[in-house]
């Protein structure tokens, strides 16, 4: 009986916290991709709770009913080999659940790997996010600016983050906009996101990358398109241009605050060409194979500095 109460109490605590006043980051989406994921998560939590409760109920029932202290001393448990029907049900029901979840999973996977729902027609903002020990560099090739450790984004427009790394594998993650994706040294991965409304968000590297990993975070500011344009203009008016020398200095291992530059490092230190993980990059992936040699040689020159 103790067990039962403990488990009930546990389930209620979890449920209370999950649906509590202070919503958990992942379950408090601010963009369509995170919404898809949060819906999937909640749905699976409910289905899984059903399974857990069923198993708990059967367990408690048999434990109470068939414990030795309740049986007569001469009770001899029967020999039961198994029963086709019962076992078919035990296989069939999980299969149905798994099929249902598989369909959900595949559908959502294609959704999060494409331009966010409701934003299809619009021109995406392309931002190159590259990590170095233990910083994030954001390059806006179209706007011609570069920031370190913070990223400003226009709300209500699709975002295309192009991810790569100047060192260990990192993982670019803004929980409230959507799930993470790896940034690696030899290829560019693409993460499709969008913010529904202006607001301040947390972003971080989620993949362990060495001593400075814990502080490897960045600030995300979603703002209206007009504010964003204003900010871009302001940067062009006030910030200094990024030079190769300056950029190599930024790449040195350590922690830095926020900083802003005009121009991007892509001009002198381009992203690896092998382009991966974008729904529309299928055509150029063949090409990427052939480009490989050249991209590697370029990368090597980048690395000789650091």
Binding track over 282-301 against another protein, x by CB under 8 A: x--x---x--xx--xx-xx-
The per-residue DSSP string of 146-182 comes to: EEESEEEEETTSEEEEEEEESSS-EEEEETTTEEEEE
Query: Quick one: which segment of 146-154, 219-227, 244-252, 275-283 binds another protein (CB under 8 A)?
Result: 275-283
Q: Which stretch binds another protein (CB under 8 A): 43-51, 136-144, 244-252, 262-270?
A: 43-51
Binders in 148-207 for another protein, by CB under 8 A: 163, 167-169, 171, 173, 175, 178-182, 184-187, 189-190, 202, 204-207
x/- mask, another protein, residues 106-145, rule CB under 8 A, reads: x-xxxxxx-------------------x------------
- Give 82 or 257: the residue with its C-beta nearer to another protein: 82
Query: d(Cα 150, Cα 204) in Å, to the nearest integer?
Result: 10
What the block records as the tokens of 121 is 């027609």
Q: Kindly tell me which residue out of 24, 118, 252, 255 binds another protein, with binding defined by CB under 8 A.
A: 24
Q: For strand 135-140 and strand 145-148, is the pairing parallel, antiparallel, or unpaired?
A: antiparallel
Between 182 and 261, CB nearer to another protein: 182
| Choice between 106 and 240, CB closer to another protein | 106
* Minimum distance of another protein from residue 234's CB (angstroms): 28
Peptide bond into 274 cis (omega under 30): no
Q: How far apart are CA 51 and CA 56, in angstroms?
A: 9
d(CA 203, CA 221): 10
Under 8 Å between Cβ of 40 and 217:
no
Return the closest-CA partner of residue 305 out of 247, 256, 222: 247
Q: Within 10 Å of residue 6's Cβ, how many Cβ atoms?
A: 10
Q: Which of 15, 19, 95, 305 binds another protein (CB under 8 A)?
A: 95
Choices 48-56, 136-144, 218-226, 232-240 (CB under 8 A): range interacting with another protein: 48-56
Between 105 and 122, name the residue whose CB sits nearer to another protein. Answer: 105
Q: Does 8 bind another protein (CB under 8 A)?
A: no
Q: 20 or 241: whose CB is closer to another protein?
A: 20
Q: Does 239 bind another protein (CB under 8 A)?
A: no
User: What is the closest distance, in whole angstroms, from the C-beta atom of residue 126 to another protein in the complex?
Assistant: 16
Q: Which is nearer to another protein, 13 or 243 (CB)?
A: 13
CA distances from 207 to 113, 169, 228 (A): 20, 7, 29
The secondary structure element, H or E, covering residue 230 is helix 225-238
219 scored as a contact of another protein (CB under 8 A): no
Strands 125-132 and 135-140 turn out to be antiparallel
Total number of residues binding another protein (CB under 8 A)?
104
Say if residues 166 and 251 touch (Cβ distance below 8 Å).
yes
């Amino acid at each position: 009986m103790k067990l039962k109460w403990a488990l009930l109490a546990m389930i209620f605590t979890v449920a209370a916290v999950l649906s509590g006043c202070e919503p958990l980051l992942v379950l408090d989406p601010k963009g369509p991709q995170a919404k898809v994921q949060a819906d999937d998560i909640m749905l699976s939590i409910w289905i899984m709770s059903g399974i857990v409760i069923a198993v708990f109920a059967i367990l408690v029932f048999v434990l109470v009913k068939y414990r030795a202290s309740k049986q007569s001393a001469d009770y001899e448990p029967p020999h039961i080999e198994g029963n086709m029907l019962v076992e078919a049900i035990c296989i069939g029901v999980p299969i149905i659940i798994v099929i249902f979840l598989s369909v959900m999973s595949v559908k959502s996977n294609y959704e999060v790997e494409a331009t966010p729902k409701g934003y299809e027609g619009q021109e995406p903002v392309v931002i190159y996010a590259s990590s170095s020990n233990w910083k994030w560099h954001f390059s806006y090739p179209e706007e011609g600016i570069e920031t370190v450790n913070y990223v400003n984004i226009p709300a209500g427009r699709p975002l295309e983050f192009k991810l790569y790394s100047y060192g260990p594998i990192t993982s670019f993650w803004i929980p409230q906009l959507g799930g993470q994706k790896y940034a690696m040294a030899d290829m560019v991965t693409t993460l499709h996101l969008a913010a529904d409304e202006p607001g301040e968000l947390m972003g971080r590297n989620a993949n362990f990358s060495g001593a400075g990993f814990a502080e490897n975070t960045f600030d995300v500011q979603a703002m209206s398109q007009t504010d964003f344009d204003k900010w871009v203009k302001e940067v062009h008016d006030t910030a200094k241009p990024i030079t190769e020398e300056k950029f190599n200095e930024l790449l040195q291992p350590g922690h830095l605050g926020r900083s802003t530059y005009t121009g991007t490092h892509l001009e002198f230190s381009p992203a690896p060409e092998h382009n991966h993980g974008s729904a529309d990059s299928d055509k150029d992936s063949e090409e990427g194979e052939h480009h490989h040699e050249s991209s590697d040689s370029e990368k090597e020159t980048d690395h000789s500095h650091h």
